[in-house]
A and B are shown apart, each in its own frame.
Chain A
Amino acid sequence: MVRRFGWSTPLVALLALVALVGVACGGDEDGSTGGSADNDGRALVVALTSEPSNLSPVFLDVNAGNWKIFSGLVAFDQDLQLVPDLAAEMPEYSEDGRTVTVRLRQDVTFHDGEPLTSEDVVFTWNAILDTDVATPIRERLALDGLIEGVRAVDEFTVEFTLSRMDPAFMERLYTGIVPAHLLEGEDLNSTSFNREPVGTGPYRFASWVAGDRLVFEAYEDYYGGAPAIKRVVFTFVPDENARAALMGNGEIDFTRMSPRLAENFEANEDVRVVQVPSASMYQLTLPNKHPAISDVRVRQALSMAVNREEMAATLIGPLGQPAYGPFREGHWAYDDSGHVDYDPQGARDLLAEAGWTESDSQGFLLKDGERLTFTILYLASNAEDQEFALALASDFQEIGVDARVEVGSNPGYQDRLDADAFFHGVGMPYDPEYVMRARFHSDYADVAANPAGMANPDVDAALDASRATLDPEERREAFIDLQRALLEDGSYLIIAERPTVVLVSADIEGLVPQMAGSPHAFVRGLSWNLEDWSWK
């Protein structure tokens, strides 16, 4: 008689089988983790913080760069000066500033071998201007109906017609050019091109396994010469500790890291810790609609109460730098006289002048029996933000202001910006006309771009003056006026530079950091000249 134990035996077998599914799927393992003597053909592995969803420049902010798959008519050099790229030479404004003519290089081919012509440039720009295309960059590139038309003069000449003179227009030509012959008649919102792009840049798209990795290959016929690193693999790891682990194990070559975690790599010989000069600043937004804060003396007092130097040193570390205005040192429009002394006593005096003369049993200032109180909101996505918010609140409490700290929900926090202060990091290195107007002009006081709701005539005047001239010196002066007006106004307290730190394999040669914007996934400020990199 067969021994029978019912079904228990098959069940156990089934469980064991399920458990072994993983083993069965395990691939062969060559365990190569880099650091090998032979770097020929070694792939550059980049861990991004998040996966891109679309690589087409029609949808991409200038800040994100062109992913090295595309090139624009112009490019930025290391000092963020514009240089010709697809353009044969630097384009110039017409006399009245309303026409820009671009002559194209004639030796450029797309990755599918088709030559680049003026049709492609016209197609790209018309796509961006097409309101049926859901691109977030239209508003920025063609602010207030700036671009009236784009037309091909001949096969290699393009003419842009503007509705008004705009000193920052030239920079917008950085936008990558897409091939008309592949996209004509396609619905740009959903074309597969967005995820399998073809451009003219130094790298060509190879493959993309969603959620896993995105692979580029060197484009051997690149007009600037074939890149030395032949293969770039992007992987997507949101967790910083996981990225640090990958870097420590030599599994990746390039990733962004918080300054604090990056410090652990200082002693690691295989890894370089590179600080990318960042145009992003930590900023506290003071709500102009708050009854007490609407008084400029109160905002000034708050500014004087902030110990910026100490915060930068203790909260960021050795890489920390205090900041006072939205421009970074080294930027052509930076005002080196902008400074606020840390002066708690002066702040108290100023508050007294503003009528905050009494105080309650807990030492908080009173006016008409009411405390000077507000909440500092921050978003949980950045760990440093909370520490800054707490440090700010404690500095404010020091001078008798009852400041509290609260984590804001996104997007819910936006509804609270009329009454509450908001702490975050913000800023981009490109032409201030691009960035500063929407951030500070009273035209934008009611949208989230100018969350303090600041409406300061001096600020407006400086911004208006900066766009009324093409003369670099006059523009510089206008932006210096802007910085002074901002410091006067105090609606935006700039606290410190927000550093961008990248870990890079020490095997890479050719790194020259460029000033970067708000930290984008691929840290454009470092990868800007990727095609010039090579393995040691």
Chain B
Amino acid sequence: MPAIEARALSVGFRTERGVVQALSDASFAIERGETLVVIGESGSGKTVLAHALMRLLPRNVTLAGEVDLEGQPLLALPEDEMRRVRGRRMALIPQGAGSALNPVRRVGGLMLEMARVRGLGQGEAREALDGSLRELGLSFQQVAERYPHQLSGGMQQRVVNAMAMVGEPSVVIADEPTHGMDPELVDTTAEQLGMIARRGAALLVITHDLRLAERLGGRTALIYSSYIVELRDTAAFFSQPEHPYGRALLGALPEHGGVAIPGVSPELTQLPRACAFAPRCPARFEPCDEAVPPMFPLPGGGEARCYLHA
């Protein structure tokens, strides 16, 4: 049984401009000890995916599909029970550590409060926090009396990361966990994320840092305009993407020639009933404009949302 599994998960936001379709038909499973890296351009729906898994969505949301945590369906769970799932069984390292820390609370109190929610005693919590902070080159002592704004961006990120690692959640979701860090810190963080996976948790890492993605290994999900368009072994993906968007994306990297993808991605309020990438796709052919392509299995394992693989 996978630690977490999403089936046909879709998220829309009702807004004045219409429904923003932020996540469409996402299906994947992460086993214990496995890592899933999620990449995609800004605004493609990565954070929404993370929040949807934890049901941290605002009131104007419409949610479809299923999420199972260790076989337990989450979307039908009453809010009270969901609250007990968060933190204890699923931990989130949110995007933007700076704004995730309450500005009027001292960091120490904040960390302890959240650690204790997971059932740790005062002393235990302190020790655990100090432990994970030390792995990241900080100590509890060092940050406890400070307010968030008195920490650097990298320190804030490490505090947030350390909080998520306390206790033994079965699923850890990290949204841009290396934001604002210099290369050495990125290394330590990658190391620490690897530890989490090795301890047996399912790890979902959202990142813009393709090098980090490569390094984390596991599998990679590529998102384009709310759709997961390719889901494959990370190493395989980076050596040879199968979806035209993945190819274009890697081709746009400086070391691969830096050819920008022509055109712009569609408005999420007006997604076509067809392949969302078709208008920009060099390999576009008839079926692309007729229906949204499903995920087609790839010969070497993994899936791609492209009629080329039908």
- A interface residues (Cβ-Cβ under 8 A, vs B): 1, 3-7
Contact = CB atoms under 8 A, between A and B. Distances in A.
A interface: dominant SS: loop
15 contacts: A1-B108, A1-B112, A1-B122, A1-B126, A1-B144, A3-B109, A4-B106, A4-B108, A4-B109, A5-B105, A5-B109, A6-B104, A6-B105, A6-B106, A7-B104
Nearest to A2: B109
Contacts of A1: 108, 112, 122, 126, 144
Task: Please list the 3 inter-chain residue pairs (A to B) with the smallest Cβ-Cβ separation, ordered nearest first.
Answer: A4-B109, A6-B104, A4-B106
Interface of B: 104-106, 108-109, 112, 122, 126, 144
Given A1-B112, A1-B144, A4-B109, 12 more contacts: A1-B108, A1-B122, A1-B126, A3-B109, A4-B106, A4-B108, A5-B105, A5-B109, A6-B104, A6-B105, A6-B106, A7-B104
A513 B122 CA distance: 83
B interface: dominant SS: helix
B77 to A, nearest CB: 30
The winner among B106, B108, B109 for most chain A CB atoms within 10 A is B109
Contacts, number: 15
Nearest to A8: B104
A97 B308 CA distance: 131
Contacts of B122: 1
B258 to A, nearest CB: 49
Contacts of B112: 1
A51 B106 CA distance: 57
Contacts of B104: 6-7
A314 B104 CA distance: 68
Contacts of A7: 104
Contacts of A6: 104-106
A4 B147 CA distance: 12
Contacts of A5: 105, 109
A7 to B, nearest CB: 8
A5 B112 CA distance: 12
A3 B109 CA distance: 7
Nearest to A7: B104
Contacts of B126: 1
A4 B112 CA distance: 11
Contacts of B105: 5-6
A288 to B, nearest CB: 68
A6 B107 CA distance: 11
B143 to A, nearest CB: 13
A9 to B, nearest CB: 12
A7 B112 CA distance: 18
Contacts of A3: 109
A474 to B, nearest CB: 91
Nearest to B105: A6
A132 to B, nearest CB: 66
Nearest to B126: A1
Contacts of B109: 3-5
B176 to A, nearest CB: 28
